[in-house]
A and B are shown apart, each in its own frame.
Chain A
Amino acid sequence: QKEVEQNSGPLSVPEGAIASLNCTYSDRGSQSFFWYRQYSGKSPELIMSIYSNGDKEDGRFTAQLNKASQYVSLLIRDSQPSDSATYLCAVNWNQAGTALIFGKGTTLSVSS
């Protein structure tokens, strides 16, 4: 059973702080890893993708991947109230290598 696990939260951080979101996955064959942001009532929006071990930075966002530990994380620096949303971790899983399996998401709340 392929699984992606996330803490549901809520994770509460003050404005300007670093938010750290974590994700573990069960399929060692997974190759592609993604973070989506989803505002309440809206569809998921892709914010980060990562394919190799290490860090990938894009603006205030840093994704970290450790395939040996089957662990993916997302750091949000200088958190803003507009970052308050649910963050979904997604991993590719099927034989064609493209369909994604998602975690349940972590709800982030940034207070001003």
Chain B
Amino acid sequence: EAEVAQSPRYKITEKSQAVAFWCDPISGHATLYWYRQILGQGPELLVQFQDESVVDDSQLPKDRFSAERLKGVDSTLKIQPAELGDSAMYLCASRDGGGNNEQFFGPGTRLTVL
């Protein structure tokens, strides 16, 4: 069964350091999303890609966060510098081009900033 891949699964870093997360969507899925989920909350959209183009990054803290999907396949989310409040689960999801809008999540990256 096709799945969204993410790495690393866990990341511990100190504040002010740089971190990067990687996502490989389900093959053929043109739309890719990065969400952040703080403990006890629902996921919140950070950025949405359609192929290699950013569709929505209105909620991405652009002073420290960046995201790219250069070839329209896998994607990288970076935080520099990390802050204590960035501790969360970072989730990648993908969707095919059909009209049902079903999104499938990867296993996530649990980030802890010390």
B14 on the A face (CB < 8 A): no
Interface extent on B, as a size class? 20 to 34
Is chain B's interface secondary structure helix, strand, loop, or mixed overall?
Answer: strand
How many Å lie between the Cα of A102 and that of B91 in the bound state? 13
Shortest Cβ distance from B58 into A: residue: A94
Is there contact, CB below 8 Å, between A43 and B105? yes
Query: How far is it, in angstroms, between the C-alpha of A49 and the C-alpha of B75 when the chains are bound?
Result: 26
Q: Is the pair B107, A43 in contact by a Cβ cutoff of 8 Å?
A: yes
The answer to whether A44 and B105 touch across the interface, beta carbons within 8 angstroms, is yes
Interface string of B21-44 (1 = CB under 8 A from A): 000000000010100000011111
Q: How many Å from the CB of A13 to the closest CB on chain B?
A: 21
Check B42 against A90 for contact (C-beta < 8 Å): yes
Q: How many pairs of residues, A versus B, come closer than 8 Å at their CB atoms?
A: 67
> Which parts of A39-83 form the interface with B (CB within 8 Å)?
41-46, 49, 51
Within 8 A of B (CB), among A1-54: 4, 31-32, 34, 36, 41-46, 49, 51
The answer to the question of A108 belonging to the interface, with a C-beta cut-off of 8 Å to chain B, is: no
Report whether A34 and B95 are in contact in the complex, using a CB–CB cutoff of 8 Å: no
Tell me if B105 and A45 are in contact (CB < 8 A): yes
In the complex with contacts A43-B108, A49-B100, A104-B41 CB distance below 8 A: yes
Residue of A nearest to B55 (CB): A96
**A102 with B43, Cβ < 8 A, contacts A46-B102, A96-B48 known:** yes
CB proximity of A108 to chain B, nearest CB, Å: 15
Is B19 in contact with chain A by the CB < 8 A criterion? no
Q: Which residues of B contact A101 (CB under 8 A)?
A: 42, 45
Cβ contact within 8 Å between B101 and A4? no
Given contacts A43-B89, A43-B105, A98-B31, 5 further A-B pairs with CB under 8 A are A32-B100, A42-B108, A98-B55, A98-B95, A99-B45
Provide 8 A-B residue pairs closer than 8 Å at the C-beta atoms, listed in order of the A residue: A32-B101, A41-B110, A43-B106, A46-B104, A90-B42, A101-B42, A102-B43, A104-B40
Closest 3 CB pairs of A and B: A102-B42, A32-B101, A43-B105
